[in-house]
Chains A and B, each alone.
Chain A
Amino acid sequence: MNDSAEQIAQTISRHAVAHPKRDAIIFLERGEAETERVTYEELEARVASYAAGFESEGLGGRVVAIAMPAGPAFISLFLGCLRAGAIAVPVPLPDSDRSTQRVAAILHDAQPSAVITTKSEVPKLVAIAGTIPVFDHELLLGSNTSAPCFTADRPALIQYTSGSTRAPKGIVITHANLTANQQMIREAFGLPIGVIGATWLPHFHDMGLIGTILQPLFLSGTAIVMPPRAFIQKPIRWLRAIARYGAHTAGAPSFGYELCTRIIGPDDAAGLDLSGWQRAFCGAEPVRANVLELFAQRFAAAGFDEKAFVPCYGLAETTLITAASDPGQGLKVREIARGADAPRRYVSCGKAVEGSTILLRDEDGREATVGEICIGGPHVSPGQWDGKRGEVVPFDNMLAENGETYLRTGDLGTFIDGELMVVDRIKDILVLYGAKHHAMDIEMSALDSHPDIRAAAAFAVDDGQRERLVVLCEIDCRKLATIERPAFTRDIAKHISEAIGVLPTVEMIAYGDLPRTSSGKIQRFAAKTKFLSGVWGVSNVNFGAANSPASDERSEQT
């Protein structure tokens, strides 16, 4: 590890000296009018003050959960936490049953020394946190002290990634990981110093925090920030912010672009000026060619240049980004036929970013044309957080080769003309509306919903626009003949929707019909293939014939 690398909180200090009056953050609380502007000088003062508060409360070097709404206070607090050498665990605000469960599960796993939140949220967090002390962030503002000295290989933050509430997984990102990946993003996107970015992505997730908040700050630029809800409620707010502030870079998962095209009509689109938007990155879930093409078409009249698209690939275990298309290239779409299935269109995610190595390997670790994407480089996390022991545990899915280690991502990819195409997911994680969900959580929720359900398989099916959740539930043959199917499936769908926030298509099948391994484990991938083949005679008409899953060239793990 490189101990001399400047850490992100120190970078802010440098910018505050060089550009004290430049705007670091512009916050649009409802996505429209400006609610707060923070210059680098002001940001530096707040960061230093929070850092002092962490130290005086004895939290320097400790794990600290941060449950804050989007905005400058969260950003200052997060950077103050890092400057004090504390390890930040960004979590959502517990504003629904689901987020409350998630925060509780994260706190249980991470075992932080404190939870920092806003005054109004303190009672709610106290109820969740149990014996962990909960602080109002305003009481943490202290007087400036000197920055502590710590090495770059120390953890800076723990990123809880998957939507799993039963088995949350905290990815440890070191200060060196953060700095390395900031540099990678900058080079891959070709971003200028002083860049302006506009974002609505959740600040407690890697893409929002690392890609859209820290990146402009790393480059002494300006982050235009609005909460996710402001965008989802009126997607045009994001595009208006891009136009109004002349944002050079802004991005989202495919779902964000799809929502813009769905909600914003041609007349409203034509009233925007998006000609300054140079880097429209897209990642975090499969990059969909048709969604981005429609977006480019709809917003061409607003001056949007389709060459601005930068499809990219990454995951929390690699801090954020690991591959990206060349800036200015736009979409490169290829048809790939896999097995006996009809060819499908895939978007190139470009080359490995500078400093990152991508290998494709089969299950036995041999080179493969279509294989599991394995990643090496200084942006790869050292492992997972073990809160009970208070230490980092290396990932068990590492590939060792020629003295180097590579992270096995669980994603299946291939190279065409040296560019990465992500063709499928091996791991059992579904991405719906940009949020990750563990298949197991959804299946457990189905099992909890009714005692007659014996087993379940959850998977996502592409309907051409987005991923739709399908849950197949097995019940006894005799019961299957007597139940009133519409009401039964509706109740189960409702139960799952309440648990995860996404309404699934539920289908009932006879017990024993789901494909299983020899050890009895449900094979979700094979179940999806069987579902799409129509063999059960259940409704898959909504998903279209083009949605064949990747062929079963590999066997599922037993």
Chain B
Amino acid sequence: MTRLYRLTTGGKENLVTDEFLTTETTYSEDRVAPFREQTQYTADLDSLGRVLDWVMGDGAERFDDRSDLDAAVAPAVREFVNVPRRAAADEGIWHYLSIVWRPDYVRYRWTLERGNSSLTSLREKFTKSTRDLYAPAFARLWFMADFTKSDGGYRTTEKILKRQYSANRLFDRTDLRQRPVIRAIARVAYDLDDDEFIDDDDVFETVAKAVSHELTTISAESVGVDGMEKLVRQKYDRVTG
């Protein structure tokens, strides 16, 4: 297990330069020393590193679609950085992992080549806080996997993250980022054919939006997964009926 560090004040501001974003720059221990501090947490970064090496190397041709890359890496991030939520919400830890530990993966996933990402967008992958589940490179995967994992493992994580449109419709909405909600939607997604729900962008977005509206006046934690599932089905029936 490897001790986790966090970047402190001034770290991301000093280290995430245009040169850092556009070249293969990696920082030495001395360079980051003024901006880092040790945390009480550890992670299996060797194993996670091997997964990243594989998806960027031998396994690369299987991940032409960047959503497939997220679906493959997210369970590994959650599993090998097995820390409590308090640590997962510490943006300094994620900044350290993306800026100092594996900037190569972040640049690979959001490559500037072929116009896949803008400089601003790539910068945000290194610097955004954990409150934003769209941008921060590793943190977004940790939380998405945490919301979607179940006793059965990461089957749901993979099903949802393979579809970037659907994943964004869920995780961009603050009120849908709740375990009972995500699990209820996953149950319905497994019950229906993919092309009836999770692969039908219009239906999926309309249902997600309708559930989001309901959550302004309903407590998902109180009704639990069963209660939310009824609600999701009700919305689905209304949209498709």
Report whether chain A binds chain B. no
Q: Which residues of B contact A (CB under 8 A)?
A: none
